[in-house]
Each structure stands twice: as C-alpha cells, then as structure tokens.
Structure 1
Amino acid sequence: MALSYKARRRWALVILLIGMPIYVVVAVSIANRVGVSDLPRFVQFVIYVALGIGWVFPLKPIFLGIGQADPDADPEDGQD
C-alpha cells in the first residue's frame, strides 16, 4: 500500500525531528563501543560518512517528492 503525499510528509517530518537524533546517538554509541576511535583518522572518516549516508537509502521512498506541490491537490486551491 502506497502512502499518500500528506502521509509521506508527516512521516518525513517525524523521521527528521525524532528519528534522526535517535539514529545519531545510537550510531555513535555503537561506533564507540566497537572501538572506532582506535582506528586511523581516515578509516574513522569513512565509517562516519557511511553511517551518515546509510540511513538515506531505506527511507528514500518517503522523502521523494516531498518538496514538490501536492500532486493530489486541486489546481484551483489558490496555489500558483
């Protein structure tokens, strides 16, 4: 079942305001527990970049088209 435009907008907002801070805390905590800080700086950089970009791919369908006008809206609603 595909999400409507409004549902995707709401989920995107929830993900960005609640999910992202939780993800950042969990990712950094796991990285510290594993011992990433003992690795060379370049390897640390690669790991943190991968963690920073990795969350996007599973959530990409939710964020697609969010910045566009509502495709289901009436064109006569005053939006130009």
Structure 2
Amino acid sequence: MALSWKARRRLSLLVLLVALPLYVVVAISVVALFDRPPILLELAIYVGLGILWTFPLKPIFKGIGQPDPEARDGTED
C-alpha cells in the first residue's frame, strides 16, 4: 500500500527533524571509535554517509515540494 501525500509529508518532516540528526550523531560516533584517518579519507567517509541515507528514503521525499495532487480546492492541509 502506497503512502498518501499527506502521510509522506509528515513522515518526511519526522525524518528531517528527528531521524537525520540521530543518524549524524551515530555516524560521528562510529567514525570516532577508530583512530583518526587522513583528512581526505575522513571527508570521503562523511560524504559517503551523507549520501547513503538518501537512497532508502527517496520514495518518502519524492513529490513533497509539490502541491497535494488529491486536493480539490487547491488548498493545502
């Protein structure tokens, strides 16, 4: 069952406000467990982790910036 536009919008807000900051804290904590790598390798790790979270969540964010396709009178919420 596909999520409605409203549900995806709420879920995307939850992801951006709660899950993403938690992901950042976990990523920094995991990298800090190891000896500090060379700066370019550390940069590559953070860039890779920064891109990695988007792939499983792409369907949630797709079309969120557009008006509600199911709205009849053109108003949102």
TM-score, normalised relative to structure 2: 0.91
Larger radius of gyration: 1
Correspondence for 1:59 among 36, 44, 57: 57
In the TM superposition, what are the counterparts of 1:27-46 in structure 2 within 5 Å? 27-35=27-35, 37=36, 39-46=37-44
Q: Which residue number corresponds to residue 66 of structure 2?
A: 68
SS at match of 1:34: coil
Q: Which residue number corresponds to residue 45 of structure 2?
A: 47
**Offset of 1:60 from its aligned partner?**
0.2
Any idea what the Cα deviations from partners look like across 1:26-70, whole Å, max 9, x if unmatched?
A: 1100111133x2x11111110010011110000000000000010
Q: Which residues of structure 1 form unaligned runs of 5+?
A: none
TM-score, normalised relative to structure 1: 0.88
Q: Which residues of structure 2 form unaligned runs of 5+?
A: none
Question: AA paired with 1:5?
Answer: W
Question: AA paired with 2:6?
Answer: K
Q: In the alignment, is residue 2 of structure 1 matched against residue 2 of structure 2?
A: yes
Across the two proteins, how many residue pairs are aligned to each other? 75
Identity of aligned residues (%): 57
Question: AA paired with 2:30?
Answer: I
